[in-house]
Chain A
Amino acid sequence: MSLSSISRRNLFRVSALAGGGLMLQLNMPLTALAEDSGTLVQSKELNVYVQIDTDGQITIYSSIPEMGQGIKTTLPMIIAEEMGARWEDVVVLDAPLDAGRYGLQGAGGSTSVPRNIDTMRRMGASAREMLIGAASLLMEVEREDLDARESKVIHSSGESMTFGQLAAVAVRQPVPDPEMLSFKDPRSYTIIGTSIGGVDNLVIVSGQSQFGIDVDVPGMKFATYARCPRIGGRATAFNAAEIKAQPGVTDAFILQPDARAGKASMGFLDGLADLRGGVAIVGDDTWSVLAAREKLQVTWDESGASQDSWEQMVEQAKRIAAQGGGEVRLDSASVAPAFAQADNRVLEAFYQFPYVAHVCMEPMNATAHFKQGDAGIPDTMEIWLGSQFPGQVKEIANNMFGIAPENVTVHAKRMGGGFGRRAVHDFAAEAMAISHRIGVPVKLTWTRPDDIHNDFFRVGGFEQMKAAIDSDGKLAAWDQHYIGFSKQGKPVIGSGLRGNEFSMVALDNARVTQSMMDIATPCGAWRAPGSNTNAFVEQGFIHELAVLAERDHLEFLLELMGEPRWLSEGDVNALNTGRAIDVIKLAAEKAGWGKTLPAGTGLGLAFYFCHAAHVAEVAQVSVDADRNYRVEKVTVAVDVGPIVNHSGAMSQVQGSVIDGLSTMAGQQITMENGEIQQDNFDQYPVMRIAATPQIDVHFIESDNPSTGLGEPALPPLAPAVTNAIYAATGVRIRSMPLSELGFKLV
């Protein structure tokens, strides 16, 4: 099915809805729906995902937070497919937060598809079997002669009943044994493998979608929160009388740092997000509190504040690189002799990548409502926010205020971007603390400078690379020294080499070491953590070696992959060099590798494996004498197994390429004496439309399990572009962002 046929169908739906006005009934409370709708199945597992009304409307609940990755469309497609539903009959609603019914309701690590696909298929197949059971009873025919498709159960004679007609009886059918379920032949799929638009598209384009920042609670106040510019400082005094006298301001007060906010049961989040000390200003609207904040004068106690300095970090890293050493992660006996051998050519290179911020388009925000209990009535907290792991918010309320999880209600809203930032809930802790203090609902909206200054950054880092090429032009030794960052001795998220890096698992002549410098600057997950920086170093350096060896880069890279083999059979998180070779060859072929290009234009190749995905990219870049560069085209070859939603998959690949380009072109967070030096988009630019390259995407839908695509197309972009710049100009790029080197993306 092509997108255009889907589109026509969508247009029809939209027109029909538009005729009745743009106000949609998508905000109907779930409780009302649960009461009104017949529950399809008695299975606790199944009825939480699927409901069918007697009028034929099929409601599918989406339990995973949506941040633009398209999961709210993708997972329901799988259920609808196995049920035999017509997509036009499906309405998708957000499931309430309920770990008991839905398990982990979280989004991160490109895991939502692989983690949920089997459950979704079972939910759909189970519903189908119950509908067929109902039809068998009502039509008095054998089950074997019945099939479900187009929202109907159809008998081999051609007679049929609609799902709506069957719903009431289907509810009373026994829940099939999961072991006995059969699944559709993929060749008969009509929904999976097509292009389906996002289920919230209509509300988005009509301005009706509700992000966290749009929440309106009766009696709600508005708040801003000023934290110490130096991370870790606390407020001791401020001009309270003046601030409280500002128009539209109703209250202002100091909040003390609170480490209880940072406790988290999910290990990677634990200790990350303590409540920071600062001054809250509360008022009647956002503007009033922001205007008052301009007049705020705070005395900060900076005795415990961060002293981090990016310039000092760079100097220290260079010293460490020169000294060598570090924790040995891998050491092959063949490395030292290879470097000592006289006729081997040796190359050394120091690579560097900066801290970067998430800058989700929707700045961090949360609306909280604390209600103090009374004799026999417990305290309660209600909170509305965009979150990648909304269940964590219950823990924070419990840790900070002792409110039992069952007395915390979390309304997870669509996120205006996540990219890892909304895995951390410091902003929720702030909103809850403010509401706890004033006892009324309050919406806390961060300004863009708040959002940048108080991010959990993609960690910067350095790698000292060294390799030897033998007289046959082959890689004889690889020595990689990663110099990253730790907090109290423990590497921060994204710093250091993962155990399954190419260099660590696929080379038999490698030495890998790691050194860490302790910092106070908070770091967190940022789209493809670790991979998004290491890909640049590893794939850039491999190209350097190909040049040194006077070999074709494509041929050299394929040689490094060696024989097609799965490094750990059956483990999707292990590199499969066969799949790697396939995507590398495909990207190269589609990009016209080896073709003649005008002077100043070059092709650059990179491959990276992460998040169970094999992705190769070829960038075609032209560069003028003033270092203005244009990425004309990026050719991408991806193997993540069969694609569920081609439109969503295409979006993720295009978005990852553009995100990667935007980041490498001009984004850098620096800090001086613990203070973040970038405030807003004028100093931290996001790429604009004119620089958008042509992006040519090819999916190899190999016979492997479907895996996620939110992150893995990003890491290969940067090295593909820098390798292309080398091909075009002979200038080797070993540090990011390119704007610091005088290169300007046009």
Chain B
Amino acid sequence: MVNTIDARHHPCLGRLPGRPDAFLLLLAWFDSGSMLKRLLLRRSILIPGMGGVASMNKFVLMVNGEKVEVQAQPEMPLLWVLRDKLKLTGSKYGCGIAQCGACTVHVNGSPMRSCVLPVSAVSGPVTTIEGLAEGGELHPLQNAWIQHDVAQCGYCQAGQIMSAAALLAKNKNPDDDDIDQAMAGNYCRCGTYIRVRKAIHTAAAYYDADTSSTKVTGAGQ
């Protein structure tokens, strides 16, 4: 059986009212945890199989522009499909409850917490940090991240950059409030937030320069 999007396999089907797929997607998307918290409080892991015999299904995903087939339980979060099955380890496990954002990837261009997104609910092409650079050229954010020496331990940085990339895709000139809002779902335990902001401004300036050729990139420290 091949599933690309099939809400019937959604593990929370029996638990959530209305349209569970849309509901969970909403949670995974930019949720800082309040809804999930109530749902999943004190769980070591999220969304265990909900009754019945869990079965391995074949899923066809588009990941970083490549079509891939994976055998997985429908409720397996996209994060573990990426990390364990596809060996794309750039997206990180941090909490499993959509609190820390280390697992952030794009689905259909939107930032999603892949640790709570069942593979069966993946509704479109997936981009991970490994696929952010295009045609061998780093994304402006990746360059800006290097320019500002943002990373300390580096573990959360893929998630930070993916959230920032989704912001810049929508808003080429974000102010600090826009940035704080877009990055609210991403923890940095090392405390790189100041340079995260700077790097996003620098990358935004790059876009600006690209279109108007009037602004110099690289704000520096």
A residues sitting closer than 8 Å to B (CB atoms) are 2-4, 7-8, 10-11, 14-15, 18-22, 67-70, 195-198, 200-202, 204-211, 213-214, 216, 222, 246-248, 285-288, 290-291, 293-295, 359-363, 414-419, 445, 447-450, 647-648, 650-651, 654-659, 662, 679-682, 686-690, 692, 695
Smallest distance from the beta carbon of B51 to chain A beta carbons, Å? 11
B residues sitting closer than 8 Å to A (CB atoms) are 32-33, 37, 41-45, 48-49, 54-56, 72-73, 75-77, 80, 83-85, 87-97, 99-100, 102, 128-130, 132-133, 136-138, 141-143, 145-158, 161, 179-181, 183-184, 186-197, 218-221
B196 CB contacts on chain A under 8 angstroms: 689
Give 7 A-B pairs besides A7-B218, A69-B152 with Cβ atoms closer than 8 angstroms. Answer: A3-B220, A22-B130, A204-B158, A211-B155, A213-B89, A447-B45, A448-B94
A291 CB contacts on chain B under 8 angstroms: 45, 48-49, 54, 73, 75-76
State A276–B174 Cα separation when bound (angstroms): 49
Partner of A414 from B56, B154, B218 at Cβ < 8 Å: B154
B184 CB contacts on chain A under 8 angstroms: 688-690
Q: Are B97 and A19 in contact (CB under 8 A)?
A: no
B146 CB contacts on chain A under 8 angstroms: 7, 10-11, 14, 197, 201-202, 205
Residue of A nearest to B80 (CB): A287
A692 CB contacts on chain B under 8 angstroms: 191, 193-194, 197
Which residue, of B95, B99, B143, has the highest number of chain A Cβ atoms within 10 A?
Answer: B95
Q: Are A651 and B192 in contact (CB under 8 A)?
A: yes
Q: Are A206 and B93 in contact (CB under 8 A)?
A: no
Q: Are A290 and B45 in contact (CB under 8 A)?
A: yes
A360 CB contacts on chain B under 8 angstroms: 153, 155, 189
State A222–B89 Cα separation when bound (angstroms): 15
| With known contacts A3-B220, A206-B142, A657-B191, A681–B100 Cβ distance under 8 A | yes
State A45–B99 Cα separation when bound (angstroms): 47
State A204–B190 Cα separation when bound (angstroms): 15
State A113–B94 Cα separation when bound (angstroms): 30
Q: What are the 3 closest A-B residue pairs judged by CB atoms, nearest first?
A: A207-B90, A658-B191, A416-B155
Smallest distance from the beta carbon of A294 to chain B beta carbons, Å? 4
Residue of A nearest to B177 (CB): A690
State A655–B156 Cα separation when bound (angstroms): 14
Q: Are A67 and B220 in contact (CB under 8 A)?
A: no
Q: Are B44 and A293 in contact (CB under 8 A)?
A: yes
Smallest distance from the beta carbon of B56 to chain A beta carbons, Å? 7
Q: Are A205 and B191 in contact (CB under 8 A)?
A: no
A679 CB contacts on chain B under 8 angstroms: 42-44
A450 CB contacts on chain B under 8 angstroms: 44
Q: Are B136 and A655 in contact (CB under 8 A)?
A: no
A-B contact pairs, 23 of them (CB 8 A): A19-B136, A68-B190, A208-B90, A211-B92, A247-B73, A287-B77, A294-B48, A294-B49, A361-B92, A416-B154, A417-B189, A447-B44, A448-B44, A654-B195, A656-B191, A659-B191, A680-B97, A680-B99, A681-B100, A686-B189, A688-B184, A689-B179, A692-B193
State A208–B137 Cα separation when bound (angstroms): 15
Smallest distance from the beta carbon of A393 to chain B beta carbons, Å? 20
Q: Are B179 and A208 in contact (CB under 8 A)?
A: no
Partner of A67 from B33, B80, B153 at Cβ < 8 Å: B153
A68 CB contacts on chain B under 8 angstroms: 151-154, 190
State A11–B158 Cα separation when bound (angstroms): 19
A686 CB contacts on chain B under 8 angstroms: 100, 187, 189
State A205–B130 Cα separation when bound (angstroms): 9
Q: Are A285 and B94 in contact (CB under 8 A)?
A: no
Q: Are A662 and B221 in contact (CB under 8 A)?
A: no
